[in-house]
Amino acid sequence: MHELAVTESLLEIAIRHAREKNASRITGLYLVIGKWSSIVDDSVQFYWDIISDGTIAKGATLHFQRVPVVLTCQDCGKEYEPVGEEFACPQCGGTHAKIKTGDEFNLEAIDVEE
Amino acid sequence: MPLRIPVVEKILSANDRLAVENQARFDTARVLALNIMASPGAGKTSLVEQTLKGFSGRLRIGMINGDIATSFDADRAQAAGATAIQINTGGDCHLDAAMVQSAISQLDLGALDLVIIENVGNLVCPADFKLGTHKSVLVASIPEGDDKPYKYPGMYRGVDVVVINKIDLLPYVPFRMDFFKKGIEVLNPGVVQFEISCRTGVGLSSWLAWLDRQVQEFKHN
């Protein structure tokens, strides 16, 4: 449960970018979260409602985009989604993979009013 | 009309920046820093004790211990001969770069060869928070079960070393070493691995030799 620390960081980044554009209000945040980043949407939303209160981001909507895990096999180059306890490449059985997507944890954009 | 502003920033970028500062301080002092992570009870503190004992009189070691409460671990490290700083996170499930920064200020880095940071016992959160250490070490243990790399891929993927502790329990616990290692290797090809028992001492010499080499190379290169 580190969503409080995460949500505080989120608020700080959003307010900083809004101020740079002289915005008076933040109405939406677009989050991109990989399936393997250990973040629970509901928990971020819970803390968001509390800590954004009294800031220019109060009431802003959090939009979560979840990104599936895709691995790239380092032996044959195939890209695949690991299933359950099977991480090996389904094409060549290779066991050396690099994560292509799925560990993102970014704030992509915000909606603001001037 | 609302205006959309592109941001594209890592949400933990503030922590990442502090971690870079921490690493710069370790680099300047030529002190190797380790981040030891594991679930509660895997044997982090036992590995630290054995490491302090193994390097006693040879390496000057500073400890930073993270726990939700109590200073048991720092006390154990101090008793084993290290300078130990306790961080009580007060409920936070992980150490972050800011906590480590304030602990570093209490250590005399110029008088140390190695700093070991013992993270809060947790297999989820610590992986997301960089501390500014040079090497991350995950302590796994046989009784936890062989499925942990598959259940906690974030943690197993992001470390440099996996130390498999309590191998003296292998005859008593169902644990498929092949299956476990396959899970680690797919996620983290080439990760350094040690099989040890802090209780019997088996395997510890390889771990100590590896760590000694890392410390010396870092100091002299």
Report pTM: 0.88
CATH fold of B16-220, please? Rossmann fold (3.40.50)
In a domain, residue A26? The reply is: yes
Please answer yes or no on whether A27 and B2 come within 8 Å at the CB atom.
yes
Q: What single-letter amino acid sits at A45?
A: Q
To probe the interface with A, which of B3, B9, B11 has the most A CB atoms within 10 Å? B11
In a domain, residue A73? The reply is: no
- Burial (CB < 10 A; 0-12, 13-18, 19+), residue B6, is exposed
In a domain, residue A94? The reply is: no
To probe the interface with B, which of A76, A87, A91, A111 has the most B CB atoms within 10 Å? A87
In a domain, residue A31? The reply is: yes
Encode pLDDT of B192-220 as tens digits: 999 999 999 999 999 999 999 999 999 98
C-alpha span between B170 and B195 (Å, rounded): 11
Encode pLDDT of B145-179 as tens digits: 999 999 998 899 889 999 999 999 999 999 999 99
Q: Is the pLDDT of residue A97 over 70?
A: yes
C-alpha span between A80 and A82 (Å, rounded): 6
Buried b (16+ CB within 10 A) or exposed e, B90-123: eebbbbbbbbbbebbeebebeebbbbbbbbbbbb
In a domain, residue A89? The reply is: no
Encode pLDDT of A15-73 as tens digits: 999 999 999 999 999 999 998 887 888 889 999 999 999 999 999 999 999 999 999 99
Number of domains present in the structure of chain A: 1
CATH number assigned to the domain comprising residue A45:
3.30.2320.50
Q: Is the pLDDT of residue B187 over 90?
A: no
Q: Interface of chain B against chain A, CB under 8 Å?
A: 2-15, 92-94, 96, 124-125, 127-129, 147, 150, 153-154, 157, 182-183, 185-187, 189
| Backbone phi, psi, residue B219, to 5° | -70, -35
C-alpha span between B46 and A52 (Å, rounded): 42
- Per-residue pLDDT, B147: 95
Q: Which of residues 26-85 of A touch B (CB under 8 A)?
A: 27-28, 31, 36-38, 69, 71, 74, 82, 84-85
This model of the complex carries an ipTM of 0.81
In a domain, residue A93? The reply is: no
CB of A17 within 8 Å of a chain B CB? The answer is: yes
In a domain, residue A20? The reply is: yes
Find the domain containing A18 and state its range.
3-67+102-113
Structural domain boundaries in chain B: 16-220
